[in-house]
Structure 1
Amino acid sequence: MRRIRAAAAGAVTITLLTAATACGGGSSNGGGSNDSPKTLTYWASNQGASIGIDKKVLAPELKKFEKQTGIKVKLEVVPWSDLLNRILTATTSGQGPDVLNIGNTWSASLQATGALLPWDAKNFDKIGGKDRFVDSALGSTGAEGKDPAAVPLYSMAYALYYNKQMFADAGISKPPATWDELVADGKKLSKGGKWAIGAEGANVSENIHHAFVFAKQHGADFFKADGTPDFTNDGVVAAVKQYVDLMAKDKIIAPGNAEYAQNQSVSDFAKGKNAMLLWQSAAANLKSQGMDPSTYGIAPVPVQSGTPGTGTSTNSMVAGINLAVFKNTKNLDGSAKFVKFLTSDAEQKILNTAYSSIPPVKTAQEVAPFTDAANAVLKDTLAKSAAALPQVADESQFETAVGTAVKELFADAAGGHAVSTASVKAALEKAQQQMPKK
């Protein structure tokens, strides 16, 4: 999921998700003449700085596909604030596109509706085989032990972006590698109306991404091995408190960030209001805001101690966008051709360059610009120290419930209210009570 749209967005009501069934997809009422083998409808997620930019990026590629295959693609770029609910509505109404983007963290939840085409060996063979894709990206395509519900399209990882001049002015010679170092550096940088780091406190998806990573670093998970929610264990509580404390106790995040919900922290960083930014593959976003790449550095997200790696040194969720096909599409052959086109080496280079993401296709990663130093940080993170969010059927509700709890805790911090271990635990208990009962 992603930046300029916010990272994998989307609060979804529990009632809507639980109402989703396997009846959906591929109706001509979904916005295109899906009954024609020469027409496809494609819902693309908003990856660029605006929907207009996405159309500008995608339009020539869709024309290229039409020239190659004779199939016209009817494109709709859907804002992240609407995308999940639009998809869920399509699964119940049957009025959806043929091919669509999904945030990769939603894969298991949408898989559970039964509306998406399973990518078994036969279907993967149509697009060149499953082994073309990197393991980390495949890890966020659906529940373990089941055929994937989607195919990776764009891969992303969180990194720490830092303003070189602001660091030099504060006498800081290198980016922080641990959270203690980040807090210490942050106090030096949070002066004169400037702040150390930004946060999207009202962005539910950003909140869950960071809470998940912090929990991993505390050796904790939000779910037990049997899939039962475990939001109030000591590690999760400590992780959420540590994150919110960047504002509440450490005071290196501006209180106003509690209301940020869509890229404002990126804008603040680009304008020199903040010295650091925690974001997914942010280069294209920063460029669109006029920030020269020479003015900032890119480093791995800090860990509790040591260096990034697996387990308690995890420092990113496996972020990204997947391609899915509605199972009931009336143009399955054309949909498979379109997925093959978008995941071809040539298109992977074009699209991932445009969005400053990393190709999930192995061979496409081995060419410029994905071999430069900035992308090396992201690729290394995805290969060695990123973990997939829980691939459980209730993942969407998990994002909404816990992300909202963190949002409310940030609001408390901004309002000057104490954020204690007890208040964090109470917020997470409330979130856990909102999860579907087994």
Structure 2
Amino acid sequence: MPRSGRPTTAIAVLAAMTALATACTGQSGASPDDDPKAQVTLNFWHGWSAPGEVKAIEENIARFEQAHPNIKVQVTADMTDDKINQALRAGGGKAPDVVSSFTTDSVGKFCNSGAFADLNPFLRKSGVDKTQVFPKTLLQYTQYNGNQCTLPLLSDAYGLVYDKSAFAAAGITEPPRTWSQFTEDAQKLTVARGDTYDRLGVMPTFHGYETKPTRLAAQWGGTYFDARGKSNLAGDPAFAKMLAAQKDLVDKLGGYEKLEKYRASFGDEWSAEHPLHTGKVAMQIDGEWRPAMAKEAGVTFEIGTAPLPVPDDQAADYGKGYVSGTVMGISAAGRKQNAAWELVKYMTTDTDAVVAFANAIHNVPSTLEALASPKLQVTPEFKTFIDIARHPKSSSTPAQADGGTYQLTFEDFAYGVEKGAVADVPAGLARTDAQIDTDIAKAK
């Protein structure tokens, strides 16, 4: 299961990370003076739970232990952020030394609070040039204010997944590259029936699974914060333009109320009853996991993938997208930091380890060498997401001291816009900026 499919809600995750940050502040007195060649056992906690994912982790750990016979790794799977928080607060020998977290948005809190150790000294000591190992976008979301307190452990790229049979029936010969083409194709693919639909071209509302404001803002190239670190939603026209384009698509496909009524008939995002699987939608904004999940669900049509469309005036940038992923860090309170670094270094920078893990759980590799490795299993559908991850203008949401709270604030505003409840979008964005700045100042 992809990271964003975890059952913990975004708000609950952020609340847990707030508690984690508070609990760990001031506990970073441990120093990396342990001998990494001594016999030691590390506690490694991660969030994966599906049998195939757990097996893939165990296989990677087995290869690590073979290469580092003095280090044993005690692996604990299916660990939520609540459980991690409680363990780090309690401390002691059973607390995790190394943590893998799905909550990329909380990196700012990890770094700002001192919950995780800064990995820059470890990188320098090992002679690892992070700028030559990791794509630029992944480095941006794994550090905060120069503190590289986490490193990327695989990534997710977001694009367009579609029903090729529906495209052919509608006379569409290729996926849309610009937003105007996307809007036109979505209308062509929509089959209305009274106050509902037999099929919808795409579910454009922001409650529609992975159709999030942050995904679309990446296509417009919005800059969330200005040079002073202040929220920039009103200052950068990209955000207002994105919201206007999305609202226009909502209106052209039947309006918010009609679309939301139809959305209520959708199956769970992570089940075989996903609306793309069942033919209720012809296109879906989604990640690299969707084609494989659709095939596992037994779809009878051919799956196509493509980058998300870009604004018409940015056609030359087609191919970019939103990128996020899992992060890995070391407890700042741990007494085995040098040994812990050996595990983090192996899992995040060793090309064969990264490729093997990516192949096993069908996620995008997180190093430049792994992305280009001949050992990487690449189907035509998967290659789309590899290319998005490598695109120089792909982007992510920047780390902040309040974690992902600023994103939720923006998302709440976007909900109001698509409903038609916001009369003055520029003024609303300015108010949203003020709220974001207040929240971040409090977090700092």
Identify the TM-score tier after normalising by the shorter chain.
0.7 to 0.9
Q: Are 2:177 and 2:308, in contact at CA under 8 Å, matched by a contact in 1?
A: yes
> Equivalent residues in 2 for 1:10-25 (5 A)?
10-11=10-11, 12-13=14-15, 16=19, 19=22, 21-24=24-27
Distance 1:7 1:211 in 2: 23
Counterpart in the other structure of 1:290? 298
Question: In the alignment, which residue of structure 1 is the partner of 2:240?
Answer: 237
Structure 2 counterparts to residues 255-274 of structure 1, below 5 A:
255-256=260-261, 262-263=269-270, 267-274=274-281
Q: Which secondary structure does the structure 1 equivalent of 2:404 belong to?
A: helix
> Partner of 2:212: helix, strand, or coil?
helix
CA distance in 1, matches of 2:400, 2:113: 12
| Pair 104,206 (structure 1): closer, same or farther in 2 beyond 3 Å | farther
Q: Structure 1 residues 181-190 or 269-278, which shifts more? A: 269-278
Partner of 1:161: 161
Residue 354 (structure 2) pairs with residue 345 (structure 1): no
Q: Could you tell me how far apart the structure 2 residues matched to 1:184 and 1:152 are? A: 37
Instruction: Tell me the secondary structure at the aligned position of residue 275 of structure 2.
Output: helix
**C-alpha separation in 2, matches of 1:222 and 1:264:** 33
> Does the CA contact (< 8 Å) of 2:138 and 2:366 recur in 1?
yes
Aligned to 2:411: 403
Residue 150 of structure 1 aligns to which amino acid in structure 2? T
**What residue in structure 2 maps to residue 140 of structure 1?**
141
| Alignment-mate amino acid for residue 337 of structure 2 | L
Which residue of structure 2 aligns with residue 247 of structure 1? 250
Q: For residues 163-220 of structure 1, what are the alpha-carbon distances to aligned partners after superposition, in whole Å with 9 as ceiling and x for unaligned?
A: 100111111111111111111111111115111124684489862422532552xxx4
Contact 2:276–2:282 (CA under 8 A) maintained in structure 1: yes
Deviation at 1:303, TM superposition (A): 0.3
How far did residue 94 of structure 1 move?
Answer: 4.5
After superposition, the C-alpha distances for 1:23-61 in whole angstroms (9 at most, x for unaligned) are 45899xxxxxxxx96433323234xxx634422332333
Distance across 1 between alignment mates of 2:207 and 2:27 = 32
Distance 2:213 2:272 in 1: 16
2:137 partner amino acid: S
Give the letter aligned to residue 431 of structure 2. E
Structure 1 runs not aligned, ≥5 long: 28-35
For the residue of structure 1 that corresponds to 2:160, the secondary structure is strand
**Partner in structure 2 of residue 99 of structure 1:** 98
Secondary structure in structure 2 of the residue aligned to 1:193? strand
Inter-partner Cα distance in structure 2 for 1:245 and 1:264: 30
Unpaired segments of 5 or more residues in structure 2?
A: 31-37, 192-196
Matches within 5 A, 1:297-316: 297-305=304-312, 315-316=320-321
Q: Give the 3 Å change call, closer, same or farther, for CA 429–174 of structure 1 in structure 2.
A: same
Measured at CA, do residues 325 and 376 of structure 1 come closer, stay the same or move farther in structure 2, by a change above 3 Å? same
Match of 1:55 in 2: 54
1:356 matched residue in structure 2: 362
Partner of 1:40: 42
**Structure-2 change in CA distance of 1:407 and 1:284 (3 Å):** farther
Q: Distance in 1 between matches of 2:223 and 2:154?
A: 26
CA distance in 2, matches of 1:314, 1:109: 31
Using the TM superposition, give the Cα deviation of residue 402 of structure 1 relative to its aligned residue in structure 2, in angstroms: 1.9
How far apart, CA to CA, are the structure 2 residues paired with 1:273 and 1:348? 36
Match of 2:424 among 397, 422, 425: 422
| Cα RMSD (Å) | 3.9
Structure 1 residues 235, 360: closer, same or farther in 2, change over 3 A?
closer
Q: Distance in 1 between matches of 2:205 and 2:392?
A: 26
Moved more, 167-176 or 253-262: 253-262
**Secondary structure of the residue that 1:196 maps to in structure 2?**
strand
CA distance 1:376–1:52, shift in 2 (3 Å): closer
The answer to whether 1:116 aligns with 2:116 is: yes
Change (3 A) 1:431 1:199: farther
Tell me how far 1:142 sits from its aligned partner.
1.0
Name the structure 1 match of 2:34.
none
Asked which structure has the greater CA Rg, the reply is 2
Report the alpha carbon displacement of residue 389 of structure 1 after superposing the two structures with TM. 1.4
CA deviations on 1:320-351 (whole Å, 9 max, x unpaired) are 22211111122223312221332322221121
Give the TM-score taking structure 2 as reference length: 0.77
**Paired amino acid for 1:389:** T
Structure 2 residue identity aligned to 1:185: D
Identity %: 19
1:247 alignment partner AA: V
Q: Describe the shift of the 1:232–1:306 C-alpha distance in structure 2 as closer, same or farther (beyond 3 A).
A: closer
Shift of residue 9, structure 1, vs aligned partner: 6.5
Q: Which position in structure 1 is the counterpart of 2:226?
A: 224
Counterpart-to-counterpart distance in 1, 2:370 and 2:29: 30
Aligned to 2:194: none
Q: Give the 3-state SS of the residue equivalent to 1:242 in structure 2.
A: helix
The AA in structure 2 aligned to 1:223 is F
Give the Cα separation in 1 of the matches to 2:401 and 2:169. Answer: 48
**Partners of 1:92 and 1:204 in 2: how far apart?**
33
Report the CA distance between 1:134 and its aligned residue: 2.9
**What secondary structure sits across from 1:379 in the alignment?**
helix
Structure-1 separation of matches of 2:27 and 2:208: 29
2-structure distance, mates of 1:387, 1:252: 30
Give a deviation string over 1:293-326, Cα, whole Å, max 9, x none: x81111111001266666xx68422322221111
Q: Structure 2: how far apart are the matches of 1:404 and 1:44?
A: 30
8 Å contact from structure 2 (residues 277, 299) kept in 1 = yes
Write the mapping of 1:312-351 to structure 2, written as runs, cut at 5 A: 315-343=320-348, 344-351=350-357
TM-score (norm 1): 0.78
Instruction: Report how far residue 275 of structure 1 moved.
Output: 0.8
Q: Which residue identity does 1:369 align to in structure 2?
A: L
Q: 1:30 matched to which residue of 2?
A: none
User: In structure 1, what residue type is equivalent to 2:100?
Assistant: N
Secondary structure of 1:267 counterpart: coil
